[in-house]
Structure 1
Amino acid sequence: MKNEHLIKGRGAQKNVPNRFLENIYETRDDFLEFCRIEGEEAQKSKTQFIPIFPKTIINKVTSPDVGMEYSMNPYQGCEHGCIYCYARNTHEFWGYGPGLDFERTILVKKDAPQLLEAKLKSKSWKAQTIVLSGNTDCYQPAEKKYEITRKCLEVFLKYRHPVGIITKNALVVRDLDLLKELAQHRLVGVNVSVTSLSEDTRRILEPRTATIKKRLETINILSKNQIPVNAMLAPIIPGINSHEILALAKAFAENGALSFGFTVVRLNGAIGQIFEDWIRKTLPDRADKVLHQIQECHGGTLNDSRFGIRSRGEGKIATQIHDLVKLAKQTYFQGKAFPKLNTSMHETFKEGQLKLF
């Protein structure tokens, strides 16, 4: 059922107050009705980009079940608007809301390449893979203008330091020249997220991301250029994309991915209410079913913070998902493996190339 009142081009359909702020801004129904009658726009939906200047850019990941040790994020907030995104909650730390604010107020770290270089040159730093996009997508639309991610890749190449990338945007192919050089030394691996083969599903779940066709083409292009790709089926949402596991795995393999990973959706913090508001407006006929199945995967709640369980889920539905993933890997990824990145070169290049002489 098409809802004419949806905010087009956005995932979240409302702004959620920041839990850390004393005062909140509320859009009342009578104001919205006034705007409708007068033909006025109730709220500006145009994205704004705000430069910020953090003192550091590398984050130590302390969670034991995330699968990375260090991450860095050139941008905070993400215009992709994925409704399920766990990073929405972190926007509150910057003074903004996790709903619409997260998608239309993007904080830009223009000094990221300089901060990264200073860290990699530090005498105390020992090479370990740093993942671009541990929080928000480093190839979101803002990257086309600011090119911060590209400049960071140039730093990683200069110091021969391993880097991982997580993205759902075909813009990563723009940097094929740098990625090919890094791959020659086993210094890069790319994780491409694909959550559905249905464009209809993609449009409502992830409104400003690259199309499914473009993402599969991206996997194909990277793989043909000997850049290792791990596809990410993340998150699996019962009742929305859980029936696509085998078809997605087949598409990943056919396009050259060496492996694929998955998570079961979890809706922590404010994401639960944002997701529930979204699904009741976009998929009202199956909202209750989907919400109940998500709860069944997390001990009866949408909010699950238990390490080791929160991203895998538990119970009958989660077990079915795990069984399908296991079958998919046996069928399409037998004998394939994502390589371990090279940490041995960085020490030599830490001071430029002085140590070579």
Structure 2
Amino acid sequence: MSSPYDNMPPQGPYQGGGEYPPPPPGQPYPPMEPTQYAPQGGSGSYSPPPPPPYQGQPYPQQPPPYPQPNYGPGMQPPYPPPQKRNNNGLIIGCVVALIIVLVAGIGLVAWAINQPDDNRKTDTKGTPTVEATATAAPTETTTTSGDNGYPFSTDQAFDEPLTSDTSTWYTGSGCGFKNGAYEMSEKEKDYYLMCSRDTNFTNYTYEVTVKAITGANNTMAGLLADSNNVEKTAYMFVVSKDGNSYGIYKHDEGAKQGDQFKILKENDLPTKISFPVRLGVKADDSELTFFVEGKKLTSIPRESSKGQIGTSILCGSSPSTADFINAKLWNL
């Protein structure tokens, strides 16, 4: 039985305002409210964003990890004074112990002199030799060569160059076809934008090429996966404009204020990338696995069973745009 959500309209952006005309009739999806995050960055390098701000409120003070003593500066803890002890018994005990040690030592020397030479040798022929071998533990970025069978299927659902308008991709506020690419534009600093294609997919490999990113170095752009128009959740896999870093984030509009933008993973890329660059995601029954140029980067548990795919941009410290081409999807 088909689901009523299998052919949902493409998901619109989560930020109002932009250069593109409103969606044509037949695409009745209301705009989402903007969701804010707070990236930090400097010129020439990208610093991953910290967790979302508490709406202008300071971060709560954490309690100390253990109870603090009530001592003033320079004071010592009130330990009880040492008690006096009678030393006579201790002296007698030491003398007795010394006599026992001397007697035992004389007997041991006498026994060793009377033993044959063979009993005093250590057999090393039968002693196994253990060689220590250091093995590096795998990390989330261990795959650096080979494609591991990517894209894992020959059942291709679509191959779209994104050079001209199609009815399957959202066009409207902040997203549209321009200059031979699908362009996303975000003018508000520290905001992110997500736009999707109109069809739900279950298990799939999805790939899109980030052609170029303009804006500050801490601007990030990339793909959108498992975007759910009903639950208002989506996953973003983005790379920084300077080509050094990546981030995996979850948008959850149903979460409490301050938790709607969740940082799942942030790290440096194994090697610096240049644009255009292909980004991919494999969505199976248990995981979302992410790829750069067909090579595995990392994975996270998958929390949903299907969703729409698309593109996303995280605006840095200045107005930003990102251009996308060559969107492809294979059913698994």
TM normalised by structure 1 equals 0.21
Higher RCO structure (Cα 8 Å, ≥6 apart): 2
Larger radius of gyration: 2
TM normalised by structure 2 equals 0.22
Structure ranking higher in strand proportion: 2
Structure ranking higher in helix proportion: 1
